[in-house]
């Protein structure tokens, strides 16, 4: 596996890489969910193509009150895991190399990013769009693999690819979960033992809510109220949002007709967990 640090070098390298080139962007602190994306990328690249993973803690997607400084950066461990999974190139730049100090160009998404996680994290998805667009320009991938756990991010990036005509196929991988249903996340490591024991209530609520939808629960309002009560039955859970939305527009629905997306963000202590489930 080749490790590249400088944006100019990755840009020169990609013109020589065997196609297809499949990109997996990450913040690092890799877990089994990330490794599942690498394995998907390896399949998409086939034996002759190239898998490129990026490890970059992107400052433009962190707000002033968020955990940029304490976000884990176990680079040696991450690179070893990527090598084991058959990654060909690791792009791991520094922030000062990705962003000029006098940069003045931004990307703004003003529709899908105004709800759900975006309502509580203004500017977050603009930062995601900016860094992913830079990665697309630098790596020139044929395919980019993202996880469905960050469903809003995936929806926004699909819109960005469509609106800006990026010649990139987005491949969505299902959420990878712990045995008790908790969605895998780097932030799970911040949970105390008691918080961790209660966190699966989110996914448990989704599964029961899906049963209610299929049984003919008529009112989205009643379902939402029930979901909130169920999550709050965990003493340490503090809801940021719980919603039922159209998976294309991310707008709340009034009638429970699939396809629907059940989504939530819940704090356990200072740790904010997100999750979702599609009801087809």
What are the residue numbers of the active site? 34
Can the peptide bond before residue 20 be classed as cis, meaning omega within 30 degrees of 0?
yes
Q: Which of 11, 67, 20 is nearest to 45 (CA)?
A: 20
Q: Phi/psi of residue 173, each to 5°?
A: -105, 135
How far the first Cα of the chain sits from its last, in Å, is: 40
The token duo for 217 is 């629960």
**Helix H segments across 85-215?**
95-98, 117-120, 124-139, 151-164, 193-198, 201-214
The CA distance from 184 to 273, in Å, is 10
Check if the beta carbon of residue 20 is closer than 8 Å to that of residue 46.
yes
Helix and strand counts by DSSP (H, E) for the chain:
10, 9
């Amino acid at each position: 596996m080749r490790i590249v640090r400088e944006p100019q070098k990755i840009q020169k390298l990609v013109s020589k890489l065997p196609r297809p080139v499949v990109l997996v962007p990450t913040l690092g602190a890799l877990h089994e969910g990330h490794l599942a994306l690498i394995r998907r990328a390896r399949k998409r690249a086939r034996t002759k193509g190239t898998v490129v993973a990026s490890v970059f803690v992107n400052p433009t997607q962190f707000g002033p009150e968020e955990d940029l400084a304490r976000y884990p950066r176990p680079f040696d461990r991450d690179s070893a895991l990527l090598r084991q999974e058959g990654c060909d190139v690791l792009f791991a730049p520094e922030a000062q190399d990705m962003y000029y100090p006098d940069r003045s160009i931004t990307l703004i998404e003003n529709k899908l990013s105004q709800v759900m996680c975006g309502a509580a994290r203004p500017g977050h998805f603009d930062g995601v769009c900016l860094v992913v667009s830079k990665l697309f320009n630098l790596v020139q991938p044929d395919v980019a693999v993202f996880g469905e756990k960050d469903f809003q991010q995936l929806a926004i990036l699909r819109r960005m690819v469509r609106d800006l005509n990026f010649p990139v196929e987005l491949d969505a991988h299902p959420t990878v979960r712990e045995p008790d249903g908790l969605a895998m996340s780097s932030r799970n490591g911040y949970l105390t033992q008691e918080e961790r024991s209660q966190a699966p209530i989110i996914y448990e609520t989704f599964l029961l809510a899906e049963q209610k939808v299929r049984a003919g629960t008529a009112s989205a309002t009643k379902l939402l109220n029930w979901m909130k009560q169920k999550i709050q039955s965990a003493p340490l859970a503090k809801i940021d949002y719980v919603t039922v939305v159209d998976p294309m527009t991310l707008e709340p629905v009034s009638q429970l007709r699939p396809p629907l997306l059940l989504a939530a963000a819940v704090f356990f202590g200072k740790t904010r967990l997100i999750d979702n489930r599609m009801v087809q």
